[in-house]
Structure 1
Amino acid sequence: MERGKIQAMRQEILNGPIEKTLLKLAYPLIVSNLVQVLYNITDTFWLGKLGREALAAPGTSWPIIGTLMALGMGFATAGFAFVGQYIGAGNYERANRSAGALYSLMLFFSTATALISLAILPYALHFMKVTPNVYPYAKAYATVVFAGVPFSFTFMAFSALMRASGDTKTPVKISMLTVAMNILLDPLLIFGIGPFPEWGVAGAAIATVLSNATGALIGARLLTSGRAGLHLTRETLRPDMEFYSRIFRVGLPSAVGQSANSFGFVVLTRIIYGYGDVTYAAYTITTRLVNFITSIARGVSMAMGTMIAQNIGAERYERAKRIAERAMVINFLIASSAILIIGLFRVPVFKVFLDDPKVIAQSEYVLKYFLISVPFFNGIFVVVTRTFSSAGHTKKSMVLSMLRLWGFRIPLSYVFGYVAAVTVFGLRVPLAELFGMSPKGVFFGMGMSNFLAAIVAFIWFSRGTWMRRIIEEESKE
């Protein structure tokens, strides 16, 4: 996307019809998310052929991976907010400088992250109480993925910068290429088909890293060539402590919040594993289904983020609020429709992944106590946190994210799953007893966390304290 196209897109984002512009930006992201979900489903399908333990390995590993990856996502969020608001304000020179600072920072930071993550991996798996059957598979998968973290971080930065400029198509095209590579390589490297070695679970991770590396290199080439609208040069990529400090100031709350969130899922994994491999296998399949449900909603939220950032940069605050409200309605309806479909076809859907009667039986609890809360999570909570972060108010999104997981989900999942009863003012209140001390209570707590977090998020959004920009006042270039 060249400078002229960025300017034209800016005009549409600031002045065009909200729904039409939102869907124009969202549809490439929706396609990309659906393709990514297709890969995740394919990955789960092939690993399921190796057994329950192999299927659980990625799901077990990702909370650890996500804890460290979230640090990069936090800084990418800050870069997105700065670049988007500078473009909204018409200051393209500062947008390029912010883009270069983000990209070089991610290069440095990702290398350190990869080394740290490899060092702490065994301790994290033991902390999660991963069963001996799953442990070697989870460790093999995570080790390979951690080695490829620099590629993941730099492609993450590229995607954020393109979305900030209003170009949602270019990163999607590259993502579709990388996902296609992943889908093709998965069975070849897992089972050793033809000339390829049989690497099992590690093969799935190697396929992921090779695909991410391809996307990262293509993205770097586009940014440095100037064909992406934003142009990274030696000057903009040179370490710039002023921009680094600004990205850290805005990005650190988001990074801390997302990392704490991801670490929370490490703790949640420990809670779920308390009921054994069967329960965790049901949860792993559920997360794949939730990803499918939310793929469209995430695309709408990401497109909304671009519109929010540029409208905040142009000080069009009421329009930004209307954009967020329209996104809430759209996402709630999408997620509700998807849950209804999964509810109608629950058993055959779960059997596609793992035809295990015990896992199928647990899937009923997942649907009844957890999945019904997903529309509130995607329709309200996700939209509000994306609105806050796109406006550059990352402390607000951090607080909300940590409240949902650490304030609601983890305590409620543990209490309803493991605590038989509590006494309040002399009155005995049954908690886990309501669910017969079974996984039902864990999934009930997870569902309740989504309902409560959505209520808090909507109240905070309605106050309007996020409706101010973070960029400094400067003359337009």
Structure 2
Amino acid sequence: MNETFMKEKPVFPLLMSMALPMVLSMLVNSLYNIVDSFFVAKISEDAMTALSLVYPIQNLINAVGIGFGIGLNAVVAFYLGAGDRKKADKALTQGMTLAIIHGILMTAGGLLVMRPFLKMFTSSEHVIQLGWQYSVIAFSFTIIIQIGLVYEKAFQAVGRMNASMISMLCGCIFNIVMDPVLIFGTGPFPRMEIRGAALATGLGQVVTLAIYLLLQKRNPMSIHLVREDWRPDGWMIKRLYSVGIPASLNLALPSILISVLNAILAAYSEVYILVLGIYYKLQTFLYLPANGIIQGMRPLVGYNYGAKEYKRVDRLFWIVLGLCGGIMAAGTLICHAIPGTMMGMFTSSPETVEAGAQALRIISIGFLISSVSVTASGALEGLGKGTPSLVISLCRYILIIIPAAYLLSRIMGAKGVWHAFWIAETLTAVIALVVYRKNVKSHRDIKA
């Protein structure tokens, strides 16, 4: 398969052909996240609280796989754009080896820290036990997830976004169907409650990987796993990690943020911890579709940068910024129009619904401006500039929002934590533009 279409087709139709399959996949994935939480909430508020507390560690594990996959995607796309298919093969092979190692280490590490982690945020033995039950099953599928992510990013790097879409859709739909079956018990399946939610998630990942393997067998990618390239190559590993580590940290930072905010909110009420957990489920409807557009952009900017098509890189950035801004604007309107309705999907407690509605209205003030930092960070990753992308994410998730949340909570109570979100988004957007322009300029100065 020839990937030169990534530098030859008109930019906007090309971006749409790459991004729309990913947006559809992300929308279905976000629907799954909502459905999963909806059914878990039907078990009890304790079950939903346990799921919210497990989320940071689960997100951290996913972040390592996705972040490393972003590094793999950028390196493979760059070498394909530069016409060096042999190095693209080596990047894929080395990436698969490292992904398997990551999976083994994270399975053991996640289970080791889970109980002490849960005890940091709740004294309820029931909540701790529910979180542990979920984690044991969910983390058992970590290696499957890591291998699947390598295939996902490899297919995207060669421009085969439909393959990613089909595989992800199959896994998500399987999850949605099996969630109520395994949680509540239907027919031959026993009632597993929160363990059923974890098992449905894990089996969905197995389905996704199986589809990738089937597609690879029937219609192989233009890059391949090469037996001779399994031996570790220090230079290639360094290249993969130079983007993969910052990208993983970018994705892991929300887990750190949620843990810190949970600690701040716990001083007021566990209701606010539940509200924060529900918010992060709801915001996937916005940020996962936006991430779908970013995923469509990354291989294009990487390929065109490798091919020295710098004007196309500029056009891609501004088009993606506009599209992400449109998604965020729509999300802002929804959160101001029906916040109580959305919170009511996950709890029947009037107190929680009221607190959550207030949180959604305040946090959503920063949605539109966040499109700047999201787009800039994604474009920098596609260019292979992992460290500048990490700087943006550090500002967004750690350096600004945590001090702001702490200080404002002392003045305004839990409400101050919600205001810290839009303040951090506004300041980070300014920093993101400066960082992006500086690094794109330095790229051209070096490569011209």
TM bucket (normalised to shorter chain) is over 0.9
Which segments of 5 or more consecutive residues in structure 1 lack a partner in the other structure? 420-431, 473-477
Secondary structure of the 1:353 match is: coil
> Once the 2 structures are TM-superposed, how far is the Cα of residue 317 of structure 1 from its aligned partner?
2.0
Deviations 1:224-283 (A, max 9, x none): 676233222423445444422332334233334443443232222222333323222222
Deviation at 1:58, TM superposition (A): 2.3
C-alpha contact 2:343 2:357 (8 A) present in aligned 1 = no
**Counterpart for residue 244 of structure 1:** 237
Larger deviation, residues 341-350 vs 353-362: 341-350
The match for 1:172 is 165
Over the aligned positions, Cα root-mean-square deviation in angstroms equals 2.2
Summarize deviations over 1:432-474 as a string: whole Å, max 9, x none: 1xx3x2x2111111221112111211122122447639x99xx
Structure-2 change in CA distance of 1:301 and 1:210 (3 Å): same
Q: Aligned in 2, Cα 1:227/1:373: closer, same or farther, shift over 3 Å?
A: same
Q: Distance in 2 between matches of 1:76 and 1:329?
A: 25
**CA–CA distance in structure 2, aligned partners of residues 459 and 167 of structure 1:** 33
Aligned match for 2:419, one of 437, 444, 448: 444
Partners of 1:247 and 1:85 lie apart in 2 by: 12
For 2:400, what is the secondary structure of its paired residue? helix
Structure 2 SS opposite 1:49: helix
Q: Does 1:293 align with 2:286?
A: yes
TM-score, length-scaled by structure 1: 0.88
Question: Where has structure 1 moved over 6 Å in runs of 4 or more?
Answer: none
Q: 2:248 aligns with which of 241, 249, 255?
A: 255
Residue 139 of structure 1 is matched in structure 2 by 132
1:49 pairs with 42, 51, 72, which one? 42
* Alignment of 1:63 onto 2:38: no
Structure 2 match to 1:331: 324
| Candidates 404, 407, 424, aligned match of 1:412 | 404
Structure 2 gaps of 5+ residues are none
Q: Number of residue pairs matched? A: 446
8 Å CA contact 2:377, 2:389 repeated in 1:
yes
Aligned to 1:87: 80
- CA distance in 1 between counterparts of 2:133 and 2:403 reads 31
- Report 1:212-227 matches (<5 A): 212-223=205-216, 227=220
Residues 12-161 of structure 1 correspond to what in structure 2 (within 5 A)?
A: 13-129=6-122, 131-161=124-154
Alpha-carbon deviation of 1:39?
A: 0.8
Q: Deviations over 1:268-312 (max 9, x none)?
A: 222233332322222222222211122322211111112111111
Question: Are the equivalent residues in 1 in contact too, given 2:27–2:285 (CA < 8 A)?
Answer: yes
Is 2:261–2:417's contact at 8 Å kept on the other side of the alignment? no
When normalised by structure 2's length, the TM-score is 0.93
Match of 1:358 among 351, 361, 366: 351
Q: Which residue of 2 aligns with 1:423?
A: none
Q: Distance in 2 between matches of 1:215 and 1:115?
A: 23
Give the superposition deviation at 1:402.
1.5
Structure 2 distance, partners of 1:364, 1:324, is 34
On the 8 A contact 1:130/1:273 being kept in 2, the answer is: no
Percentage of identical aligned residues? 25
Instruction: Give the Cα separation in 1 of the matches to 2:103 and 2:218.
Output: 23
d(CA) in 2 for partners of 1:283 and 1:258?
18
d(CA) in 2 for partners of 1:165 and 1:275? 50
Counterpart secondary structure, 1:324: helix
Match of 1:264 in 2: 257
Given the alignment of the two structures, is residue 318 of structure 1 paired with residue 311 of structure 2, yes or no? yes
Matched residue type, 1:375: L
